[in-house]
Amino acid sequence: MARVFLSYSRQDQSSAKAIATALERCDHQVWWDRHLEGGSRYATEIEDELKRADAVVVLWSHASTQSPWVQDEAAEGRNSGRLVPVVIDDSQPPLGFRQFQAIDLSQWNGRPGAKVLESVDRAIAVRLASGKGDIPEAPAKPHRRHSGLWFTRRAFICATVALFILMSGVLYWRNAGEDRPDLRVRLAAFNSLSSGVSESVPKVLKEEILAAFGTDALITATLGNEKSQKKAAAYVLAGSVRKVGDELRFTMHLTDADSGDTLWTQMLKRPAASVEVAPRQIAVAVSQILRCALTGKAQHPGKFSNEALSAYLSYCQEYMADSAGNVMNPARALDIARRVVELSPDFSRGWSARAWAAVYDSRSAQAATVPALRAEAEQAARKAIKLDPKNSQAYEVLSGLKPRNSLEREKLLVKAVSVRPGDCGCEFVGYGGFLQNVGRMEAAVEAFKRAHDMVPLSADVNASLAEALFLTGKAAEARTIVESLLEVWPNDPVRELLVRSAFWTKDYRPALAALADPRSPFSDEERKAYSAAIRALQSGSAVQKASAIGQVLELTARGSDDQRILVSALAALGADRDALALADKLVGRDGSRDEYLLFEPPLDRVRRMPEFAAIVQRIGLLEYWRQSRHPPDFCREPKAPALCGRLS
């Protein structure tokens, strides 16, 4: 066993926690600054632990390479022969550290047993034995050389979003990074209740839940009995699995550790044939539901009864329905949120939950009830902010009540990502969606990455980030995310994105594979039409393109499920006016949540047409670009469309 000092940037705390957990399971004693006791002299204790360490594991990232603290700690490890450099994103170590071969964990999925962690373990063993020498054989991360243009673009992006991200990180960890008892969950018994379910299934479920919480920078999962824990856990999580017909039924119970009261019970069903991935899926769902509820309670300064917490857990179960493979019921979520604030009238997160649920319920409600629901949402959001000015969800809800593509909406979204982050990264997803819809795709990637840092296991966040990466030409990185997502959720509709993105990237093999996969969400007619379009683009034949355009237009007339693909296909095939007409229809009179399709790569020629300028003026984009002085990304291209000259 080695004493390991873990050096990292606070912006990478979720990754640091996952790596610390994995190293502890390899019997190493890991120290990182979450272990600082209240009242400790910060610099003194860090220096003492750094001196005592057998190995200094440094997590290099875009954030940590800019941190003087991390560079100082890394220099101490380097100068004493104890440095173990690890790269966790697509950055490269700063000058002075590039001569050391770094271990690449940028694609690690957070699972403790992953083979790539063996490289870190071996490197620590070498340091423990000798304190010197190069790191043994490890997968080296290639260092990319970026042009000055890339740095200029990145600086431009950072000027728009990085300040808010930095501010939110400081506020978040100052307010929520404490090792509080009510953020500790003890994992108790996980049992098989059917002879048809192997005892290994509940054991794997327990391991997967532990791994899922290992990616969480807030909630700590512990094992063993209460007496063996250094700090008491406030809650106990237990579970069981049984087979009923062709289903696996996982039942989870969360109880109060002191009173024994049952706070939350949920049964999640999975096909028996999915036994290999089902424990992972259940772990993701459970961890996100508990994160939602327990962080909300932990941020509440007043009293919070078990009855109120139980109701809030039920709300979070509805709020995170997608993560559990279910369909969210906004009306039920609203009823529960109303109950939460009845039980705890001073609970800010309860009021913002009510606001969020009212907005979502208004989208599917009868027209006569929509004004009342939107009014309820605004009143509840303002109440939440009055109780807690750092409630990010409340600002996000208010932004959704403002006109689309407006400075008013962006100001509220910027406020949402500037205050204390919530539990799901939703405020960054909301801001990322706004940035996409106003044509600022590169900035949107940064917002989605921030959300991914907070909830790396969220299917929705992964899909949003992958789409943004595809749209900005980062196809390899996007496909890695898609592959990881499908590893956990083999039936996820993200395969649709592989088909759409083929018309952006011109890499058609993944799309053809997705179209041939029966799990992809396409009808037979869609498979035939999209396959014909792709083969026509591969061949370059004008005759094949004309035939493919006809098949795609037939889908347009039939009302295909996702007409965004049709816009991309038509534009890629050269049917620019047909693509623009369909895009105009989808965007609508006042805009929609799909405005970003106007900025997809195949529509480059379309953006030079007068009709395109008329559309963006109608939905308020021209006014936004002028007022905000944030032009769309396509206006920074060497041969920008003529309308870009109208923005100054």
Query: Would you state the pLDDT for residue 109?
Result: 67
Rounded to 5 degrees, φ, ψ at 204 are -65, -40
pLDDT above 70 (res 223)? yes
Contact 297, 290 (CB under 8 A): no
Say what the alpha-carbon torsion angle 528, 529, 532, 533 is, to the nearest 10 degrees: -150
CA 69, CA 407: separation in Å to the nearest integer?
37
Residue 599 makes CB contacts below 8 A (sequence gap 6+) with 436, 439, 441, 471, 607, 632, 633, 634
Mean pLDDT, the chain, rounded, equals 84
What type of residue is 303? K
- CA distances to 7, 296, 299 from 175, in Å: 21, 12, 8
Query: Would you state the pLDDT for residue 224?
Result: 66
Query: Would you state the pLDDT for residue 179?
Result: 47
Contact 9, 61 (CB under 8 A): yes
CA 282, CA 344: separation in Å to the nearest integer?
30
CB-based burial of residue 536 (10 Å sphere; 0-12 exposed, 13-18 middle, 19+ buried)? buried
In 3-state terms, what secondary structure has residue 240?
strand
What tens digit of pLDDT does each residue of 315-345 get? 999 998 877 777 789 999 999 999 999 999 9
Query: Would you state the pLDDT for residue 446?
Result: 92
Query: Would you state the pLDDT for residue 244?
Result: 92
What type of residue is 216? D
In 3-state terms, what secondary structure has residue 505?
helix
- CA distances to 48, 382, 385, 421 from 395, in Å: 42, 8, 8, 11
Contact 505, 573 (CB under 8 A): no
CA 265, CA 338: separation in Å to the nearest integer?
20
The structure tokens 């209460």 sit at: 226
DSSP 196: T
What tens digit of pLDDT does each residue of 473-529 get? 999 999 999 998 888 888 888 999 999 999 999 999 999 999 999 989 899 999 999
Determine how β-strand 247-256 pairs with β-strand 235-244. Answer: antiparallel
- SS3 string of 77-101? HHHCCCEEEEECCCCCCCCCCCCCC
Percentage of the chain exceeding pLDDT 90: 50
Helix axes 116-130, 13-25, angle to 10 degrees: 70
Instruction: Tokens for 92, please give them.
Output: 């490269």
What tens digit of pLDDT does each residue of 102-137 get? 888 887 766 666 677 888 888 888 887 765 444 333
Rounded to 5 degrees, φ, ψ at 344 are -140, 85
Contact 97, 141 (CB under 8 A): no
Sign of CA dihedral 168, 141, 208, 21: negative
Query: Would you state the pLDDT for residue 113?
Result: 63
What ranges do the domains of the chain cover?
3-145, 179-328, 504-646
Contact 420, 442 (CB under 8 A): no
pLDDT above 90 (res 373)? yes
CA 499, CA 513: separation in Å to the nearest integer?
9
- pTM beyond 0.85: no
CA 628, CA 134: separation in Å to the nearest integer?
51
Instruction: Tokens for 496, please give them.
Output: 């649709």
Contact 328, 353 (CB under 8 A): no
Same fold yes or no, 3-145 and 179-328: yes
CA 485, CA 61: separation in Å to the nearest integer?
22
CA 144, CA 146: separation in Å to the nearest integer?
6
* Selection from 401, 472, 471 nearest residue 430 by Cα: 401
Contact 247, 278 (CB under 8 A): no
In 3-state terms, what secondary structure has residue 128?
helix
What tens digit of pLDDT does each residue of 412-466 get? 999 999 888 787 888 999 999 999 999 999 999 999 998 988 888 888 899 999 9
Query: Would you state the pLDDT for residue 346?
Result: 96
Query: Would you state the pLDDT for residue 158?
Result: 37
Instruction: Tokens for 144, please give them.
Output: 């990319």
Residue 99 makes CB contacts below 8 A (sequence gap 6+) with none
Pick the CATH number of 179-328 from 3.40.1350, 1.10.4100, 1.20.120, 3.40.50: 3.40.50
CB-based burial of residue 515 (10 Å sphere; 0-12 exposed, 13-18 middle, 19+ buried)? buried
DSSP element (H, E) containing 295: helix 278-298
Query: Would you state the pLDDT for residue 225?
Result: 60
CA 621, CA 404: separation in Å to the nearest integer?
9
CA 335, CA 350: separation in Å to the nearest integer?
12
- CA distances to 245, 361, 364, 380 from 367, in Å: 43, 11, 9, 21
CATH superfamily of the domain spanning 3-145: Toll/interleukin-1 receptor homology (TIR) domain (3.40.50.10140)
DSSP element (H, E) containing 270: strand 262-271
More confident residue, 390 or 220: 390
Helix axes 348-364, 306-319, angle to 10 degrees: 40
In 3-state terms, what secondary structure has residue 139?
coil
What tens digit of pLDDT does each residue of 153-201 get? 333 333 333 333 333 333 333 344 444 566 789 999 999 998 888 889 9
Say what the alpha-carbon torsion angle 339, 344, 349, 355 is, to the nearest 10 degrees: 40
Query: Would you state the pLDDT for residue 228?
Result: 47
Contact 86, 37 (CB under 8 A): no
Instruction: Tokens for 179, please give them.
Output: 């090792």
CA 130, CA 616: separation in Å to the nearest integer?
65
Contact 271, 325 (CB under 8 A): no
CA 531, CA 539: separation in Å to the nearest integer?
12
What tens digit of pLDDT does each residue of 591-626 get? 667 889 999 999 999 999 999 999 999 999 999 999
